Structure 1
Amino acid sequence: MADRGASFKRDLSEWRIALVAWRLLVLQAADPVVGAGMAEHSTYRAHPWRRVEHTLGSGRRLFYQDAEALRREVARLNRSHKRIRGTLPDGRPYDARDAATRVWVLLTLFECVVAMRRLGGDPYDATQLEAAYREFREAIAAFELPEEELPRSAAELPRYFARYARERLEFTEAARYLLNDILREAPRPRRLWFLGDAGWRVVRAAVARVIRELTVADLPPVVRERLGLVSSRRAALLSVVLHRGVGAVVPLLPDGLRYRSAEEVRRPPRRFRPAGDARGSRVDRFFREVLDQTGDGCITVHDLKAMAHNVCWQLELSEDAEARVYRAFEDWWEQLRAAMDADGDGRVSREEFTAATLAGCDRDADYLERGLLPALREVFAAADTDGSGFLEFDEYRAVFGGPRVHPAELSHGFRQLDGDGDGRITEEEFLRGFTEFFTARADSTAGAQLLGRP
């Protein structure tokens, strides 16, 4: 096989990185801090594909763009991680800003690229490995991580991984769910709309089994031992066949097919559901697909924080502006809890939400004026970057667009909100459209895209 050199960024952009993607997620989730953050603050259960999209998008900004884009992405991540903290089930505090955890998360990305090449039959030699590690270190310098936490050279990585695995890693609930359950329950990706729900269930079961066996086989032995996992001979054979087979084919492809381009593949517009659903069915679906962001069957403050995160993620906001968005969504949660938490347990179940909504609690003036509407006003203010009092299409696209949004769908959402058809959205039009959406009285392309579809 021809020598491809040692470019970490180039190797990271190969499509075959998908073969080690789940391995990467499990390695990261096995850190107790990451696992706890995923359990309490992440939307990965309800919206796994959006979570993957955010992760890949962040990686592109970290490794493939200019210094200014890198600086902004690091600032975005720092603001986001500042809010991810709490207490582990055993009482230990956790904080996503923990330096050792951040180093682990970043190094797992480098290690997975190294593993991809090794498993594919074209491993880095010692010189190439050090060159790739230097390239990686240059890219992550913007994080200003403590030097003592980072291995000084690639040659030290195996020792670092062994020590970290034995001292820090656990088979967290998040890692267990990623490995055993999430792919058996994951909603159909929108790009696979042609499979239908029945076809997706069949494909999903087969894919879940293959990915689990491949992931366990590919994990570093010290990690498998730490997590109590055993790889079968069949899984080991599957790993060899897949990695070597793809590793032999990929180098023969032209660069346009071999590497991910910056432009994502577009998919057909969404097939919208008919508007004739019964009110109860609409409310139930709205709870599951929109409000229950963390996918745990109830609404808590974490779901509203996840919504705020998804709004802020799309925009380049100042720390003060981002804090206002989060504060508004937390206030919305307090009003939602007060109106709908019938048993006072600090969360709103699907049954409580459905009963309260059908009874009209979501239209209560106090709930709207002190909860939902202030949150929507902050979203509008954040999106109105030029302060004109209107959302022009470019401003709308910054919040509601993205690589997964078909242009026709984007235009449709804009027209839904632009009630008078003058080519711009007023705050009144924005509030009216989203009030209908968040009270589960109308479908909205814009609303669904803002908070993420399954």
Structure 2
Amino acid sequence: MADRAVADRPVSFKRDLSEWRILLVAWRLLVLQGADPVVGAGMAEHSTYRAHPWRRVEHTLGSGRRLFYQDAESLRREVARLERAHKRIRGTTSDGRSYDARDAATRAWVLLTLFECVVEMRRRGGDPYDAGQLEEAYAEFKEAVAAFGLPEGELPATAKDLPAYFARYAREKLEFTDAARYLMGDLLREAPRPRRLWFLGDAGWRVVRLLVARVIHDLTVADLPPAVRERFGLAATRRGALLSFVLHRGAGALVRLLPDRLRYRSAEEERPPRRYRPHRDTRGPRLDRFFREVLDQTGDGWITVHDLRAMAHNVCWQLELDEAGEARVHGAFEGWWEQLRAVMDADGDGKVSREEFVAATLAGCDRDEAYLEQGLLPALRAVFTAADTDGSGFLEFDEYRAVFGGPRVHPAELSHGFRQLDADGDGRITREEFLDGFTEFFTARAGSTSGTQLLGRA
């Protein structure tokens, strides 16, 4: 009876997207998207996926929930927020090609890979859409993404046209970009330990991530569309094919036995980890970790303007600012970069290395009055003003939580961060308390729960 009830349930792309087994095709999705040259270029220069992969995944999943699981107003706000973010993701690659995240063909590809991965998840799990169900799911998908205003004809008219679209796009557009290679290879072997796996310790995580990296690599290669594997020069192994069959069929059989409350991911944010483990650090090794985990947001080994832009983006993302508010925050962080470069870029190459950062910090250059007044402090004031939504001149706890909260932030950690900034303990954070606390944090003199959560925790 239960199987019949499931079989009789109307098709819903949104519901299928929320199944937990979508995680089996999540890495495949990232590789397909990163193989688009525009996406790959944007990831290389603007994304924090190397340094903070789990945070990027959270932002991606959060955006997906707003696009497909929420009401029309939430969808409108999310599309507007993506528009504001994407207009800043543009530039020129090292080989002279220009790129712009607002390119219509690229947007269509990114959206369609999401639909295609759901279709593939069901097919490999042993419960594929039939022809009618596929068209129903595609119609639901197209209705949701209509808010992006893609040009007429950019999306295939029907679901039956998708295989030809994917094969053509793979042949004509896709490249084995640096981003795709990194996703397929080194990222998982280098990824920092997720905070939920604290019990493994650093040594345990190093062992586990090697196994996980191998499994995901073999699974992803086996699951990629044949045209994409051919384009990349990859070959699925028997081991990978067997792994794919066992995992997908096993997950497909399991989820069909589960009640909906266990089968589907809630549209609500994930609950924070149950155990709170305060972050402790020392002055010595802290500088290296601060450079790597906070300032080098893009994970390329340097501090550049793109790292400061990534920080500004994270602030704006948390607060869902309007266009004018985002412009003020980004402008302040651009000014901070210019001052940081002037103070720390000893060799004048337009970027700051770890060695330059450590040397300048130990020499006290980051406490230089001009550096603070013309760079760091205006950026911090912009964050405070954006967070102070009622214009009271104070951050109440709810305003603080809007900036520093999130699915990975334990309530105890959130409260601890608030108390760190609330120096006089009166239950609200003044502008001066905010500036003093974060000046200490960004001059690498003191740890800060708030600082690491907002801009640095992996």
Provide TM-score, normalisation by structure 2.
0.97
What amino acid is aligned across from residue 286 of structure 2 in structure 1?
A: R
List gaps (5 residues or longer) in structure 2. none
Q: CA deviation at 1:227?
A: 1.1
Measure the CA separation in 1 of the matches of 2:211 and 2:275: 27
Of the structure 1 ranges 400-409 and 103-112, higher mean CA displacement relative to structure 2 is found in 400-409
Q: Which residue of 2 aligns with 1:264?
A: 270
Q: Which residue of 2 aligns with 1:285?
A: 289
Q: Residues 18-167 of structure 1 correspond to what in structure 2 (within 5 A)?
A: 18-167=23-172
Of the structure 1 ranges 303-312 and 80-89, higher mean CA displacement relative to structure 2 is found in 80-89
Q: CA deviation at 1:90?
A: 2.1
List gaps (5 residues or longer) in structure 1. none
Measure the CA separation in 2 of the matches of 1:408 and 1:30: 40
Measure the CA separation in 2 of the matches of 1:242 and 1:295: 32
CA deviation map 1:337-387 (0-9, x unaligned) = 000001111100000000000000000000000000000000000001111
Matched, 1:198 2:203: yes
Measure the CA separation in 2 of the matches of 1:315 and 1:297: 28
CA deviation map 1:391-431 (0-9, x unaligned) = 11111111101111111111111111111111111100000
Q: CA deviation at 1:269?
A: 4.7
Q: Which residue of 1 aligns with 2:327?
A: 323
Q: Which residue of 2 aligns with 1:335?
A: 339
Q: CA deviation at 1:316?
A: 2.3
Contact 2:422 2:433 in 1 (8 A): yes
CA deviation map 1:241-267 (0-9, x unaligned) = 110011111110111111111241320
Q: CA deviation at 1:6?
A: 1.7
Measure the CA separation in 1 of the matches of 2:134 and 2:41: 32
Q: Secondary structure at the match of 1:86?
A: strand
Matched, 1:305 2:309: yes
Q: Which residue of 1 aligns with 2:367?
A: 363
Contact 1:280 1:354 in 2 (8 A): no
Measure the CA separation in 2 of the matches of 1:72 and 1:9: 18
User: Percent identical across equivalent pairs?
Assistant: 81
Contact 1:280 1:358 in 2 (8 A): no
Contact 2:295 2:456 in 1 (8 A): no
Matched, 1:378 2:382: yes
CA deviation map 1:20-50 (0-9, x unaligned) = 0000000000000000000000000000000
Contact 2:312 2:330 in 1 (8 A): yes
Cα RMSD (Å): 1.0
Q: Secondary structure at the match of 1:149?
A: coil
Matched, 1:182 2:169: no
Q: Secondary structure at the match of 2:91?
A: strand
Contact 2:276 2:412 in 1 (8 A): no
Q: Secondary structure at the match of 1:252?
A: coil
Q: Residues 443-454 of structure 1 correspond to what in structure 2 (within 5 A)?
A: 443-454=447-458
Contact 2:280 2:447 in 1 (8 A): no
Measure the CA separation in 2 of the matches of 1:155 and 1:53: 32
Q: CA deviation at 1:148?
A: 1.4
Count residues in correspondence.
452
Q: CA deviation at 1:89?
A: 2.6
Q: Which residue of 1 aligns with 2:433?
A: 429
